Amino acid sequence: MNAIPPSGLSITHDSAAKHVTGEALYVDDLPEPPGLLHAYIQLSPHAHAKITRFDVSAVAAMPGVAAVMTAADIPGVNDVGPAFPGDPIFADGLVEYHGQSIFAVAAGSIALAREAAARAVIEYDKLPPVMTIDEALAAKTTVLPTQVMARGNAEAALERAPLRLKGRIDIGGQEHFYLEGQVAMAIPGEDGDMLVHSSTQHPTEVQHLVARSLKLSDHAVICETRRMGGAFGGKESQASLIACVAALLAQRTRRPVKLRLDRGDDMVLTGKRHEFRIDYDVGFDADGRVLGISFMQAGRCGYSPDLSGAICDRAMFHADNCYYLDHAHIVSYRCKTNSVSNTAFRGFGGPQGMMGIECVIDDIARHLGLDPLLVRQRNFYGTSDRNVTPYHMTVEDNIIPELVNALAESAAYSKRRAAIAAFNAKNPWVKRGLALTPVKFGISFTLTHMNQAGALVHVYTDGSVMLNHGGTEMGQGLYMKVAQVVATEFGLSIDRVKITATSTAKVPNTSPTAASSGSDLNGKAAQVAAIAIRERMAGVAAKEFGVTPEEVAFTGGMVTGGCRSLSFADVAKLTHRARVQLSPRAITPRRNCITTWQRTGAGRSFISRMARRWPRSRSIR
């Protein structure tokens, strides 16, 4: 059979048929367990203030209120900081941004919970807030230490350069506006265990943080995520607080609790894209070639570190975009402001870093009166020389010059440029423009140990397959992609592979679905697991057929060897009877992404899309 394997087919989204009929269940659509309570979070009305009086007795006394949860009531740790501490679940004496969570109420309905929350008596002593990047730079307030990345001697190169420009760009923030707002439902079980349905990109982190705040071991908490109605980075770390509040109230009341944020509350309570200020000082020659450059990047992190360290790092990693910066110096300030803690958002600092250099290139082009595309092309990374990044990684498989040439040609760039120039010459009021801008983006997490994934594959004796992995589905089609990989390894059609909700009880200790790595990491883990089962099945089939395992093939739902063949299901039965395990779990570490960029040495920070390398060693359990 030479049919295209499932991995080569264009298959609709695993839930498409359910999306269009409304049958796909999101957390808020799950059947509500009896006794369900609804939670409401009271938000701070001030950006920076000491709480001088905190009295929620009237809230608790209101009929219909089941519980009030404050910082003092948390049995475990009052912090959901993903990498560094600093994100309290409830403000404890000090509020640091307008909209910060102060306390939560659980009641029979959300309206009742909201009404009750309004009865709290809270008094504040207002403190002066630091609001903007400029204010934070002046006050030298940061959430994390300042970082410097350097290659060559930028200062000397700037001094030597025949031409020099300085400038500044301010890049605004952005709200994720995932269509499905933040939501979690916590259901208490036996022995104080907790099941949390969470709309999160990072079920493992939700599990761990819920356990920590409830003072439970990780094994007592299960986080399950079937699908998200969009996330865009906004549910990488931000889902944790929502899940913890629901779980804390569920633990306290021993009743299931749902917390779904109203859109307005969601917008003020949860983080957004980092605003950035980027100052630059560039030296260049008459052809527009950059000879030396110095960047000052300042990210508005908000009141806590959250993921800002990695985000600001990534902005530094992308300060070059596609251009060779001969002598580069990049300093990165992680500014603390009294605003919501900014967080992961598509690109994770990369777009902001790239905006800086693109602005520089445009400035140079304007200064020299050159077409900006020409200046871009003159500064592209080379293939054999001029090919080392400011973080000392050699750019491999560089196709950017050819790619942009081909695009400029197919888009008739010069013809359009001429037409636009003619239009602009004729029209004093309305102007037109044109740009062709390349992007180089780093794939994988910059924190080495996060570049791993796990998968669990079961083959049942009827030949059907169940698949689970650590990746989450937020619309990108990851579940189907991974299922296609598994179906291909088994030579089965896609409908024989069952996709199941991501659960920390099935695959533990996973990384978030982020960093453009979900398909590669989880797909590979699932492939490794599937191959392990297939090899075991091949061994059993080989014995049955009287051939070597290498001669056994899996295609079209059949297992063949020599002149014999059996259905996949029959071989699964034989394998089971031979007492051979049909359910391995695999993890795949990804090699070659070490981040020793800081200050000195050479390193490999990202995987090139063209030259992906997989480890030879893998662990099967």
Partner 1 sequence: MRDTAHFLLGRDSRLVRDVSPTLTVLEYLRTVEKLCGTKEGCAEGDCGACTVALGEIDGDGVRYRAVNARIMFTPALDGKQILTVEHLRGTDGSPHPVQSAMVEQHASQCGFCTPGFVMSLFALHHASSPDDRASVNDALAGNLCRRTGYRPIVDAALAVGTGRADEGFTGDTAARLRALDTGDRLELRHGGQTWIAPRTIAELAEVLLKHPDAVLLAGGTDVGLWVTKQHRFLETIVTLDAVRDMAAIEEVDGTLRIGASAVYEDVLARLEALWPDVGILLRRLGSRQIRNRGTIGGNIGNGSPIGDTPPVLIALDATLVLRRGGEERLLPVAEFFLGYRRTALAPGEFIARIDLPLPRLGWRFRCYKVAKRFDQDISAVCGAFNLELADGVVRDIRIGFGGMAATPVHVPAVEQTLIGEPWTETNVHKAMNILDATLTPISDMRASASYRRMVARNLLFKLFLETTTPAAPAWRAWHERDPSLWAVHHA
Can you give the binding site for partner 1, defined by CB under 8 A? 10, 12-13, 15-26, 28-29, 111, 114, 176-181, 227-232, 262-264, 427, 429-430, 474-477
489 three-state secondary structure: helix
- In the complex, least distance from residue 232 CB atom to partner 1, rounded to whole angstroms: 7
Instruction: State the burial class of residue 368 (Cβ atoms within 10 Å of its Cβ: 0-12, 13-18, 19+).
Output: middle
Output 18 or 609, the one with its CB closest to partner 1: 18
Output 36 or 163, the one with its CB closest to partner 1: 36
- In the complex, least distance from residue 256 CB atom to partner 1, rounded to whole angstroms: 16
Output 181 or 561, the one with its CB closest to partner 1: 181
Amino acid at 134: D
The DSSP secondary structure of 551-569, one letter per residue, reads: G-EEETTEEEETTEEEEHH
82 in Cβ contact with 306 (< 8 Å): yes
Output 229 or 584, the one with its CB closest to partner 1: 229
- In the complex, least distance from residue 266 CB atom to partner 1, rounded to whole angstroms: 10
Cα(245)–Cα(70) distance, rounded to whole angstroms? 10
Residue with tokens 């996973």: 510
List, in order, residues 6 or more apart from 110 with CB less than 8 Å away: 38, 40, 260
- In the complex, least distance from residue 15 CB atom to partner 1, rounded to whole angstroms: 6
Output 12 or 405, the one with its CB closest to partner 1: 12
Output 176 or 336, the one with its CB closest to partner 1: 176
- In the complex, least distance from residue 484 CB atom to partner 1, rounded to whole angstroms: 14
249 in Cβ contact with 37 (< 8 Å): yes
Nearest to 27 by CA among 207, 176, 224, 235: 224
- In the complex, least distance from residue 391 CB atom to partner 1, rounded to whole angstroms: 31
Amino acid at 503: S
Output 178 or 295, the one with its CB closest to partner 1: 178
- In the complex, least distance from residue 176 CB atom to partner 1, rounded to whole angstroms: 8
> What phi and psi values does residue 515 have, to the nearest 5 degrees?
60, 30
> What phi and psi values does residue 424 have, to the nearest 5 degrees?
-65, -35
- In the complex, least distance from residue 261 CB atom to partner 1, rounded to whole angstroms: 11
584 three-state secondary structure: coil
413 three-state secondary structure: helix
Instruction: State the burial class of residue 442 (Cβ atoms within 10 Å of its Cβ: 0-12, 13-18, 19+).
Output: buried
Output 32 or 125, the one with its CB closest to partner 1: 32
Output 138 or 177, the one with its CB closest to partner 1: 177
Output 399 or 412, the one with its CB closest to partner 1: 412
Cα(98)–Cα(335) distance, rounded to whole angstroms? 17
Output 117 or 526, the one with its CB closest to partner 1: 117
- In the complex, least distance from residue 174 CB atom to partner 1, rounded to whole angstroms: 11
> What phi and psi values does residue 107 have, to the nearest 5 degrees?
-150, 180
List, in order, residues 6 or more apart from 414 with CB less than 8 Å away: 408
Amino acid at 425: A
Output 111 or 406, the one with its CB closest to partner 1: 111
Nearest to 469 by CA among 341, 298, 334, 588: 588
Q: Which two tokens stand for residue 615?
A: 């480890």
- In the complex, least distance from residue 252 CB atom to partner 1, rounded to whole angstroms: 24
108 in Cβ contact with 64 (< 8 Å): yes
Nearest to 450 by CA among 256, 621, 261, 201: 201
Cα(511)–Cα(453) distance, rounded to whole angstroms? 7
List, in order, residues 6 or more apart from 109 with CB less than 8 Å away: 38, 64
Cα(489)–Cα(480) distance, rounded to whole angstroms? 14
Cα–Cα–Cα angle for 254, 257, 260, rounded to 5 degrees? 165
Output 24 or 501, the one with its CB closest to partner 1: 24
Cα(29)–Cα(378) distance, rounded to whole angstroms? 54
- In the complex, least distance from residue 177 CB atom to partner 1, rounded to whole angstroms: 6
Cα(69)–Cα(248) distance, rounded to whole angstroms? 8
- In the complex, least distance from residue 586 CB atom to partner 1, rounded to whole angstroms: 27
- In the complex, least distance from residue 32 CB atom to partner 1, rounded to whole angstroms: 9
- In the complex, least distance from residue 605 CB atom to partner 1, rounded to whole angstroms: 28
Instruction: State the burial class of residue 10 (Cβ atoms within 10 Å of its Cβ: 0-12, 13-18, 19+).
Output: exposed
Output 19 or 164, the one with its CB closest to partner 1: 19
439 in Cβ contact with 194 (< 8 Å): no
